[in-house]
Structure 1
Amino acid sequence: MADNTTTSTTVRSVERALDILLCFAKSPRELSLSEIAREVGLHKSTAHRLLLSLQAKGFVRKQAGSDKYILGWSILELLGNVYLSDELTTLALPEMTKLRDITGETVSLYIRSGIERIRIQAVESNEPIRNVAAIGQTYPLYIGASGKVLLAFADEAVVDEVFLRECLPQDFSRTELLQQLDKIRSDGYAMSIQERDLGASAIAAPVFGRNHECIASLSISGPVSRFTVDKMNQCVDVLCTSAAWLTKMLSH
């Protein structure tokens, strides 16, 4: 038999967490802990505890170099395949289309949500055999070019959380992954062959925001029969150029 007191406390916590999220519906800007606590009528300690839970799930995030909170990318997961028209996806779409036309392969844009990545925009290849990209799909960070780019440029705490919370394969090597992340930071891009999907290969590069944090991963993917290592190497420069252009636009 359920404890009514425990149930009531849990429901109240859920209601308060939702009230915090609704604060951002009333304000187009970032909010401090004090502003949030005042808006929902909570003690700062209680609001902070709830914000930590929402942050762990990716529903809110702290602005880099600031004590202000903004909505997190997990909100996008709730939208499923609804067309996303925020600044990033709207700005990226023409460049992604151009990149698809140059390379002939599927181009995707991912963001990090907690210890997962979400595809928030995609332009599919026109080839009959291609990598089909569903917007709103989530994937792990520790596998695939796009995930590793987001992980490589994330805080060390995110890497630690991946090892703590993910159900990693028994033969997975932390040392090997850390070495790969070092190489990605050095090279400025990542490459993967049949890591996440059998028969698919991909390359990815980071997109940075105004505060120099990695806010997205831009990738090109295709079947290994066509998107070979040689072709991936040929596409690195154009991919990195597009990622740098998006970074420049988002930094203004």
Structure 2
Amino acid sequence: MTTKRISIIQQAVDVLDCFTGEDSNLSLADLNTMLEFPKSTIHRIVISLLDAGVLYYDQKTQQYSLGTKVLRWGGSLLNRLKIQDIVRSYLESFRNQTGETATLTVLVGLKRMYLAQVESNSEIRMSVELGKLLPLHAGANGKVILAFAEQRLFDQVISEQSLPSLTDTTITDKNQFREELQRIREDGFAVSLGERVYDSVSVAAPLFSISGELVGSIGLSGPVHRFTAEKAREWGPLISKTAKEISRTMVWIPGEHLHSS
């Protein structure tokens, strides 16, 4: 590999590194300020990364963020790291006690992503796609994350975006949704009755790092004929209690991995 190619690759890595800081949404002007190579080079690299799906461009804010390809890479890596050691035993316990699928979800920008699951042993069961970005307004995991998120994230999702209907039971009215999130905060967990996937029921509780940063959620999901809303609510307090227990021992490093303290 030539020195020139190595230099270009390193510059592309430097561009991507800019998105691993506290602010993961950056404009071209931000990148020009943060990086020391020519603006024309930065622009060329950004366009290439955008075309490859490594970066995403928001027309409304005119800012860039990491694209779904990077998130899928990260999801694949995270799936093999210590997050499994921390959470898997809890997920297995939930699965064994309830007979339903237990999941770990993490917050990614204005979306969420399933990072791990322990599937039900039943022939008819819920199964999620790991690494896929999903909306925050539909489903127990998304709602509970949004309910306990910082005000800025809450405002971005609720005030600046629509709440598209995914099923007949998706909450699309913003006032009704705010009331739902308030109930979730009071209960400490969220329940969804087919809001994202038809004929499914889910329950989830928020997961924080040891420093209090919102990481995501843990939850249970199952087919409505077996895992009813009443059963989901019965498990809510235990899931909430367990999430707090996990949170007391977990350090969250955005973009890297979870590890025990």
- TM surpasses 0.5: yes
Q: CA deviation at 1:30?
A: 6.6
Q: What code does the residue aligned with 2:194 have?
A: Q
What 5-or-longer segments of structure 1 have no aligned partner? 1-14, 60-71
Cα distance change of structure 1 residues 22 and 233 upon mapping to structure 2, 3 Å threshold: closer
The separation in 2 between residues aligned to 1:201 and 1:39, in whole angstroms, is 45
Mapping of residues 68-83 of structure 1, within 5 Å: 75-79=70-74
What 5-or-longer segments of structure 2 have no aligned partner? 1-9, 24-30, 47-56, 252-260
Superposition TM-score, scaled by structure 2 size: 0.69
2:188 paired residue number? 188
2:164 to 168, 172, 177: 168
1:150 paired residue number? 145
Q: CA deviation at 1:87?
A: 3.8
Q: CA deviation at 1:116?
A: 1.1
2:86 to 88, 91, 107: 91
Count of aligned pairs:
215
Mapping of residues 1-252 of structure 1, within 5 Å: 18-22=13-17, 40-41=35-36, 59=66, 75-79=70-74, 84-163=79-158, 164-166=160-162, 168-169=164-165, 172-250=172-250, 252=261
The separation in 2 between residues aligned to 1:114 and 1:126, in whole angstroms, is 33
SS at match of 1:136: coil
The separation in 2 between residues aligned to 1:188 and 1:165, in whole angstroms, is 25
Q: What code does the residue aligned with 1:155 have?
A: E
1:10 paired residue number? none
Q: CA deviation at 1:227?
A: 0.5
Q: What code does the residue aligned with 2:180 have?
A: Q
Q: What code does the residue aligned with 1:126 have?
A: N
Cα distance change of structure 1 residues 204 and 31 upon mapping to structure 2, 3 Å threshold: closer
Q: CA deviation at 1:201?
A: 0.4
Superposition TM-score, scaled by structure 1 size: 0.71
Using the aligned pairs only, state the percent identity: 28
The separation in 2 between residues aligned to 1:73 and 1:109, in whole angstroms, is 18
Q: What code does the residue aligned with 1:174 have?
A: K
The separation in 1 between residues aligned to 2:156 and 2:250, in whole angstroms, is 28
The separation in 2 between residues aligned to 1:228 and 1:31, in whole angstroms, is 40
SS at match of 1:78: helix
Q: CA deviation at 1:100?
A: 0.9
Cα distance change of structure 1 residues 58 and 208 upon mapping to structure 2, 3 Å threshold: farther
Q: CA deviation at 1:215?
A: 0.6
2:3 paired residue number? none
Q: CA deviation at 1:76?
A: 3.0
Tell me how large the CA RMSD over aligned residues is.
3.7
Q: CA deviation at 1:94?
A: 1.5
Q: CA deviation at 1:91?
A: 1.2
Cα distance change of structure 1 residues 30 and 116 upon mapping to structure 2, 3 Å threshold: closer
Cα deviations by residue, 1:13-42 (Å, 9 ceiling, x for unpaired)? xx9674232479xxxx9799xxx9998426
The separation in 1 between residues aligned to 2:152 and 2:245, in whole angstroms, is 29
Q: Is the 8 A contact 1:57 1:74 kept in 2?
A: no
| Stretch deviating more after TM superposition (197-206 or 127-136) | 127-136
Q: Is the 8 A contact 2:144 2:204 kept in 1?
A: yes
Cα distance change of structure 1 residues 73 and 109 upon mapping to structure 2, 3 Å threshold: farther
Q: Is the 8 A contact 1:122 1:134 kept in 2?
A: no
